[in-house]
């Protein structure tokens, strides 16, 4: 029987491999946003800007996808273009990875699958826009994103803008507490909701210093296990009015019920409907927060790396605006 090995199933790009060998911070990125999150060419332009933001902060980007049954960690430009322009690509979560690897398929990765790949590759930080969570009708559908389960399992730091506004955010926060997942917001009192700055729920914990967050991450890894969420709100200039988004979500959710849309297709259906209702503003906000989160993750990873060699550092933190 063939055993899975890093050499046979996980292909790490040359830039990422060199960074890992040298101790340069690396930021993992999902590829679902390329194929399903944003339309072409906005998807391609956004990913390029995310990768550039990470490099400008002193880290290395590692966009993750599956190509012909191999997990790629750190896509080359031609591969990014392929995933951005090829229609019909499946999106895979962590539970789907064994199947697509065994059948030699190509697919884009969700947050959950990207966390698995990041941990296999030895990457400590991951950046995205909004996590999946507990869906609003979960009381009857039991629809809870595997993102949450995988965060609890993976020793990777997730830097996001909270969770998607389309979810039941109160129940999502309860789920995070139940599964002992530390969750802090950076320089903000409320828990953010993707392209809306505040979800209406207070954050479990506010922290104003990346140095302090880095220290909390180290302590968590010492006394516990699993992931750690750092949430930062979208910039005010890019945010969308909460009332407008909520009305669009309610309408889209009702339409999804009428058309029997559920499971993997539900999030994309609702988000496409919201974008139409906001005349493209939600896609623009999605792109903006993806870029800002990538930059913040890189800033945190660079500080975390510096602390590893000099634990007494006190002067390299700065406010991210």
Q: How do strand 157-160 and strand 107-109 relate by DSSP bridges?
A: unpaired
pLDDT category of residue 319 using cuts at 50, 70 and 90: very low
Detail the DSSP E strand segments found in the chain: 10-12, 26-29, 60-67, 70-73, 90-92, 107-109, 125-127, 157-160, 183-186, 206-207, 228-231
Asked if pLDDT for residue 255 goes beyond 70, the answer is: yes
Q: Identify the residue with better confidence: 320 or 65.
A: 65
Q: Tokens at residue 53, please?
A: 């933001």
User: pLDDT for 143-160, tens place per residue?
Assistant: 899 999 999 999 999 999
In CATH, which of 3.40.50.300, 3.30.379.10, 3.30.1280.10, 3.40.1790.10 is domain 6-309?
3.40.1790.10
Asked if pLDDT for residue 3 goes beyond 80, the answer is: no
Burial 168-195 (b: 16+ CB within 10 A, else e): bbebbbebbeeeebbbbbbebebbbbbb
- In this prediction, residues 75-103 reach a mean pLDDT of 95
pLDDT category of residue 320 using cuts at 50, 70 and 90: very low
Given 30, 51, 119, 299, the catalytic residue: 30
Q: Cα–Cα distances in Å, from 116 out to 96, 149, 273?
A: 11, 11, 30
pLDDT of residue 317: 60
Q: Tokens at residue 120, please?
A: 């296999």
Lowest mean pLDDT among 139-148, 177-186, 210-219, 249-258: 249-258
User: pLDDT for 217-233, tens place per residue?
Assistant: 999 999 988 999 999 99
Report whether 30 contacts 114 (CB < 8 A): yes
Q: Tokens at residue 313, please?
A: 């550092």
Asked if pLDDT for residue 83 goes beyond 80, the answer is: yes
| Distance between CA atoms of residues 57 and 47, nearest Å | 16
pLDDT of residue 315: 59
**pTM for the whole structure:** 0.91
- 3-state DSSP call for residue 167? strand
Q: Cα–Cα distances in Å, from 257 out to 8, 269, 270, 274?
A: 43, 11, 11, 15
CA atoms lying within 13 Å on the CB side of residue 298: 21
Mean pLDDT of the chain: 91
Given 9, 51, 124, 164, the catalytic residue: 164
Asked if pLDDT for residue 162 goes beyond 80, the answer is: yes
| Distance between CA atoms of residues 163 and 232, nearest Å | 11
- In this prediction, residues 3-11 reach a mean pLDDT of 72
Q: Where are the domains of the chain?
A: 6-309
Percent residues over pLDDT 90 in the chain: 72
User: pLDDT for 167-206, tens place per residue?
Assistant: 999 999 999 999 999 999 999 999 999 989 999 999 999 9
Chain centroid offset of residue 319 CA: 22
Q: What is the CA radius of gyration of the chain?
A: 18
User: pLDDT for 91-130, tens place per residue?
Assistant: 999 999 999 999 999 999 999 999 999 999 999 999 999 9
Positive or negative: CA dihedral 132, 122, 15, 216: positive
pLDDT category of residue 257 using cuts at 50, 70 and 90: confident
User: pLDDT for 289-317, tens place per residue?
Assistant: 999 999 999 999 999 999 988 877 765 66
pLDDT of residue 1: 35
Omega before residue 41 within 30° of 0, cis: yes
Does the annotation mark 164 as catalytic?
yes
Report whether 110 contacts 160 (CB < 8 A): no
Q: Identify the residue with better confidence: 249 or 66.
A: 66
pLDDT of residue 72: 98
pLDDT of residue 316: 60
């Amino acid at each position: 029987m063939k055993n899975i090995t890093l050499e046979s199933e996980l292909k790490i790009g040359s830039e990422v491999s060199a960074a890992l060998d040298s101790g340069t911070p690396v930021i993992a990125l999902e590829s679902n946003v390329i194929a399903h999150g944003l339309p072409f060419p906005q998807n391609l332009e956004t990913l390029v800007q995310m990768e550039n933001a990470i490099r400008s902060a002193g880290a290395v980007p590692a966009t993750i996808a599956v190509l012909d049954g191999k997990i790629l960690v750190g896509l080359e430009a031609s591969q990014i273009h392929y995933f951005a322009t090829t229609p019909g690509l499946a999106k895979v979560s962590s539970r789907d990875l064994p199947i697509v690897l065994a059948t030699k398929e190509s697919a884009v990765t969700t947050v959950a699958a990207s966390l698995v790949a990041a941990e296999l590759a030895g990457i400590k930080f991951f950046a995205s826009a909004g996590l999946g969570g507990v869906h609003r009708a979960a009381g009857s559908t039991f629809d809870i994103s595997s993102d949450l389960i995988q965060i609890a399992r993976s020793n990777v730091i997730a830097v996001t803008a909270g969770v998607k506004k389309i979810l039941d955010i109160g129940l999502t926060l309860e789920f995070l507490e139940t599964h002992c997942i530390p969750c802090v917001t950076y320089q903000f009192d409320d828990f953010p909701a993707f392209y809306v700055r505040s979800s209406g729920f207070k954050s479990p914990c506010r922290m104003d210093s990346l140095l302090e967050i880095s220290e909390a991450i180290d302590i968590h890894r010492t006394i516990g296990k699993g992931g750690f969420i750092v949430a930062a709100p979208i910039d005010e200039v890019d945010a969308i009015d909460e009332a407008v988004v909520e009305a669009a979500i309610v309408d889209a959710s009702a339409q999804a019920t009428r058309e029997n849309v559920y499971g993997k297709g539900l999030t994309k259906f609702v988000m496409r409907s919201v974008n139409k209702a906001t005349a493209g503003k939600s896609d623009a906000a999605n792109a903006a927060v993806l870029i800002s989160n990538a930059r913040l993750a890189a800033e945190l990873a660079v500080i975390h790396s510096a602390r590893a060699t000099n634990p007494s550092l006190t002067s390299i933190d700065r406010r991210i605006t």
